[in-house]
Amino acid sequence: MMTKASLVIVMATIMVVGVFGTNFVSDADALKSKNGASRNTDICGLVLCSDYPGQKEAFDANWSNGFLSNPRTVTNVDANDHSDSHNTSKFVPSSHNADQEFPAQLDVFIHKFELDKISADEALEGMTEVYDAYVKARITSDIIDGVGEKLSLYKKGTFDAATAVEAIHLTAEPQNVDPEYQGALDEVIHKFELDKISADEALEGIKEAHYGFVDLYVTSEIIEAVEGKIALIDSGKLSGAEAVEAIHLTAEPQNVDPEYQGALDEVIHKFELDKISADEGLDLYVTSEIIEAVEGKIALIDSGKLSGAEAVEAIHLTAEPQNVDPEYQGALDEVIHKFELDKISADEGLDGITEVYDGFVGLTITSDIIEDVGEKIALYNSGKLEAADAVEAIHLTAEPQNVDPEFINAVEEHTYQLELDDISLNKAFEGITEVYDGFVGLTITSELIEDVGTQLAVYDSGRVSMEFTLEEIKEIIEKVERAAQKSYSEGGIPEMKELPPNTVDIPAGTGVPGCEVDDWCYMPSSLTAHVGDTITWINSDTLPHTVTSGNADADAVGLDVPNGFDSGFMSADDRFEHTFDVAGLYDYYCQLHPWMQGSVTVE
């Protein structure tokens, strides 16, 4: 059993404390200091100073320059001479970008007030004029309305001048409210975590910072959520370190899931190491989608539907949804791999796959991939897919990232053979149609497969020729391929794989020009061997390649070269071997991608 106190300690140790430069002071008078450089506000125009290029110093300099070169934007308030404050503004409000323009207009007065160039009353006078200009132009927005409310609170005497300026400042820049608020709370919470203050002192400080905002009538979803926690403290449901932790997480919702996962992980890890049994509870009134999903699992345990280790595993995966698909894929792969190695039959493979599937469903854990595999199992059970077909369909469904490469490989086997004059147009077309029907028959599809299907349907309608359709299909595939190859080649020079001696790798990304620049189309591109040695080439690309004697400009290539060789079409993962019985220099290239060149020197 994990107590709340120990949970807080766990959380504290995994916690990353965000400390803002902000130093929120609830007394608005204190916001205005004697000189601009040590102002207690961290807002530079519309953004936090930490986000302003060049930060506070640059903002102050830019503001002064802007003011000197374009005093019009400062309306009727002159920093050095207040006597001309009756001058009217030439400023004309616009409606299309009011929420940028309006705060910027107010900012001029706020900034001058903060730099002690004008009094709070003068600032309010200028801001009232800006506000009135918008009201007169009948331009409104949430921000303008919010500022109007603050101005009327000032007129009613609810706010003194300096408080009103600060309230307007935050109202005009709602994007800064949460960061400022979080920063103000963080400062107190951090002191507590460093044991500099007690939990009670921390709660006092939190309330002070919180009510600083509430008293300014400034609010946000986060501020309201913290208000809820403070109400729980006042009602006695939360107290001490617990309450500080609840407020900390409420104020920084982005930290809830990582912290929750970390706390669960600690417990789960102990269980996995057989150090404890599975039983624990959380009661900080902090929630999230993940927390609610785990709550659902706990309800299943309580209802007796899940038990012991099963329940721990279900909660583990629920708390870390990013791990569901990899775990599931890994479990399926184990079974599928055995089938591919002929160690089990397709029926046995399906039994294993079904067991894995039922295992996840039994834990009420699911995902798009798990559901899609479930559909394939149902198709097999209904007799619509045969065992071996079903295994293949499930394999591709469980690893959707492999669908397009497999499809492309299968289609290109036919288009390249046609290009090499090994088969006729009719035969190639027939082969491609079969590939398409094969994937559709396995109820496996993708955008690429659907696009190819559309071209085949157009051909079936009799409106276009076989040549035209084939060209269209090749173009569709090449587009997808170019995108994939481009992303490979943008990865720079691939790392040299650890291969047995006398082995040459054909890396991914060689199907588009570029590999020749740094000479990695074949790796290594030149190799020295001895008479009688056998060299092996491995195609690690998703595209087919060849290893062919000669080069694109040679009169004779492949087997027409004395002691020459030719791999023919090598699909992904295919290997080609050649034994060199005669000493000499052997150039070779790829017939499909002639920029790919390599050589073997035989001594």
Q: Which residues bind Cu ion (CB under 5 A)?
A: 545, 590, 592-593, 596
How far does the chain reach from its first CA to its final CA, in angstroms?
Answer: 73
The whole-angstrom separation of Cα 226 and Cα 233 is 11
**Angle of helix 120-136 versus helix 161-172 axis, rounded to 10:** 50
3-state secondary structure of 297: helix
Minimum CB distance to Cu ion smaller for 111 or for 593: 593
Minimum CB distance to Cu ion smaller for 321 or for 513: 513
Residue 168: exposed, middle, or buried by beta-carbon count in 10 A (0-12, 13-18, 19+)? buried
Shortest reach from residue 399's CB to Cu ion, in Å? 25
DSSP track, 296-344: HHHHHHHTTSS-HHHHHHHHHHHH-GGGHHHHHHHHHHHHHHHHHTTSS
For residue 223, count other CB atoms closer than 10 A to its CB.
19
Angle, CA of 35, 38 and 44, to the nearest 5°:
100
- Are 271 and 312 spatial neighbours (Cβ–Cβ below 8 Å)? yes
Reported as type and span, the H/E element at residue 541 is: none
Shortest reach from residue 491's CB to Cu ion, in Å? 18
Reported as type and span, the H/E element at residue 150 is: helix 142-156
Please give the structure tokens belonging to residue 199: 């939990």
- Are 213 and 219 spatial neighbours (Cβ–Cβ below 8 Å)? yes
3-state secondary structure of 90: coil
Minimum CB distance to Cu ion smaller for 41 or for 548: 548
Minimum CB distance to Cu ion smaller for 176 or for 485: 485
Shortest reach from residue 595's CB to Cu ion, in Å? 9
Residue in this structure with the two tokens 């101005």, named with its chain if needed = 151
- Are 236 and 283 spatial neighbours (Cβ–Cβ below 8 Å)? no
The whole-angstrom separation of Cα 331 and Cα 501 is 34
Shortest reach from residue 598's CB to Cu ion, in Å? 11
Which residues are registered as beta bridge partners of 598?
588
Minimum CB distance to Cu ion smaller for 261 or for 546: 546
Relative to beta strand 575-579, strand 534-539 is antiparallel
Shortest reach from residue 545's CB to Cu ion, in Å? 3
Minimum CB distance to Cu ion smaller for 48 or for 547: 547
Shortest reach from residue 557's CB to Cu ion, in Å? 14
Shortest reach from residue 256's CB to Cu ion, in Å? 51
Shortest reach from residue 551's CB to Cu ion, in Å? 13
Shortest reach from residue 403's CB to Cu ion, in Å? 22
Angle, CA of 359, 362 and 366, to the nearest 5°:
85
Minimum CB distance to Cu ion smaller for 126 or for 598: 598
3-state secondary structure of 579: strand
The whole-angstrom separation of Cα 468 and Cα 58 is 62
The whole-angstrom separation of Cα 215 and Cα 223 is 12
Shortest reach from residue 179's CB to Cu ion, in Å? 53
Shortest reach from residue 415's CB to Cu ion, in Å? 14
Minimum CB distance to Cu ion smaller for 284 or for 590: 590
Minimum CB distance to Cu ion smaller for 429 or for 522: 522
Minimum CB distance to Cu ion smaller for 231 or for 483: 483
Shortest reach from residue 419's CB to Cu ion, in Å? 12
Long-range contacts of 188-196 (CB under 8 A, 24+ apart): 189/17, 189/244, 189/247, 189/248, 190/17, 190/19, 192/244, 193/12, 193/15, 193/17
Minimum CB distance to Cu ion smaller for 523 or for 590: 590
Minimum CB distance to Cu ion smaller for 423 or for 596: 596
DSSP 83: G
Shortest reach from residue 518's CB to Cu ion, in Å? 16
Minimum CB distance to Cu ion smaller for 513 or for 564: 513
The whole-angstrom separation of Cα 493 and Cα 446 is 30
Reported as type and span, the H/E element at residue 124 is: helix 120-136
Which residue in 419, 393, 275 sits closest to 336, CA to CA?
A: 393
